[in-house]
Structure 1
Amino acid sequence: MNNLIVYVHPYNKSYNHAILNAVQANMKKNRKKFKILDLYKDNFNPAYDARELGLYSKGKTCRPQVEFYLKELKNADTLIIICPFWWNGVPGMLKGFIDVVMKEGKGLTHENTMMGVKGELVNIKHTYVLTTSAAPTFYLKLFLGNGIKRIFLNKTLKQLGMKKRKWINFGGITRSTKSKRNRFLSYIKEYKFR
């Protein structure tokens, strides 16, 4: 199985980076193959320019990095996204990754049909979105409309064809204790990623 990790955080001393390290430890312990797309480290540009947008309807790109990312997505069985929960949603860098890398066309990431979007990333059998948030998880779910699950997982990623989508959040990070953060990292190190 090919596990692809998309990591979206600019600071390598963040708790998100600690989660990335825990996921890598998990993969190594279980002898799973994995690759990491570190969007900030790769200096990924999440914005379209006129030339790139002009190629969208043809399913093409003028950026080798986008071609590489698309190839990695098409080869993955499992996708693990690690990012913070900022302003009620995923970071702009991740949204831009979806905007720019997801190409329309047969054999790419999706097709537009008479019935709507038909996902082509059916090779991704398991999708995990690991986030951190200042607000407690119950607050995000009950009072903020559960946007990550309702929109990002059950609309965007589902439309792209990704299967078995799961959201795991470490909420209340700003008021958390070191022992609580360590327990969560231990949980991730032992988690059964499929």
Structure 2
Amino acid sequence: MRVLVVYCHPVETSFGSALHQEVLRNLRAAGHEVDDCDLYAEGFNPVMSRTERLGYHDVPRNRAPMQEYVIRLQRAEALVFCFPTWCFGLPAMLKGFFDRLFMPGVAFDISDPADVKPMLTHIKRISAVVTYGRPRWMAWYMGDPPRKMVTRYLRRLTGNRARADYHAYYHMNVATEPRLAQFKRRVAEAMARFA
């Protein structure tokens, strides 16, 4: 399977970076073709410009600033996101990735605004590996936007055809080495059987 891995963390020595490497290693070992999209390493610009916003609904001209990423997304059969949760949301760079890439003519057809159609129907699997600083109950209390983005919004863009899973490590603020190692093993196993 062609898997687009979208990684978003600025620190190469972080636990998030270790999880990212675990994701890559196990997907490749399982025989998948992996496109590793490291947003920070690639210098991705998350800011939608005034010009982009004015042309947002102008399909196909709206693709021009993001053409490289559009091609990578359209080539993928699966998506795996690896990121930390900050302020109970996506990191700004990843949010900008969604804002700029998941647009009309790429992620959905809005030619009839009363009947918006999903356009990522080629995506069969979606997964996320996510860390949180706070406990699960607090993420739940805040509505857990990252979980909803992955398991609801993205699935909707596939016509609800893709199977989605979400691997979350909560309460990084009090993490212990044994618990981190256990979660890392869980991620490795999930990626090893990814299909």
TM-score by length of 2: 0.88
* Partner amino acid, structure 1, of 2:80: I
CA apart distance, 1:115? 3.6
Alpha carbons 2:89, 2:144 under 8 Å: kept: no
Cα distance in 1 for partners of 2:64, 2:77 equals 26
Aligned partner of residue 9 in structure 2, secondary structure? coil
Unaligned runs of 5+ in 1: none
Cα distance in 1 for partners of 2:73, 2:63 equals 15
Residue of structure 1 in register with 2:107 after alignment: 109
Residue of structure 1 in register with 2:175 after alignment: 176
Cα distance in 2 for partners of 1:185, 1:56 equals 39
- Cα distance, 1:117–1:129 mapped onto 2, change above 3 Å: farther
- Cα distance, 1:116–1:91 mapped onto 2, change above 3 Å: farther
In the alignment, structure 1 residue 159 sits paired with structure 2 residue 156: yes
* Partner amino acid, structure 2, of 1:102: F
Aligned partner of residue 67 in structure 1, secondary structure? helix
Instruction: State the percentage of identical aligned residues.
Output: 25
In the alignment, structure 1 residue 136 sits paired with structure 2 residue 135: yes
Alpha carbons 2:134, 2:172 under 8 Å: kept: yes
**1:34-183 matched pairs, under 5 angstroms:** 34-59=34-59, 60-63=62-65, 66-105=66-105, 108-112=106-110, 113-141=112-140, 143-150=141-148, 152-161=149-158, 163-183=162-182
CA apart distance, 1:6? 0.3
* Partner amino acid, structure 2, of 1:58: D
Alpha carbons 2:3, 2:79 under 8 Å: kept: yes
CA apart distance, 1:137? 2.4
TM-score by length of 1: 0.89
CA apart distance, 1:170? 0.8
- Cα distance, 1:128–1:85 mapped onto 2, change above 3 Å: same
* Partner amino acid, structure 2, of 1:185: K
Q: RMSD value over aligned CA atoms?
A: 1.7
Unaligned runs of 5+ in 2: none
Alpha carbons 2:133, 2:170 under 8 Å: kept: yes
Aligned partner of residue 148 in structure 1, secondary structure? helix
Residue of structure 1 in register with 2:194 after alignment: 193
Cα distance in 1 for partners of 2:150, 2:116 equals 15
Cα distance in 2 for partners of 1:32, 1:173 equals 30
Cα distance in 2 for partners of 1:50, 1:147 equals 26
Aligned residues: 188
Alpha carbons 1:4, 1:76 under 8 Å: kept: yes
Cα distance in 2 for partners of 1:116, 1:98 equals 21
Residues 84-128 of structure 1: per-residue CA shift (max 9 Å, x gap): 0111111111111111112312xx221123445321011111111
Residue of structure 2 in register with 1:14 after alignment: 14
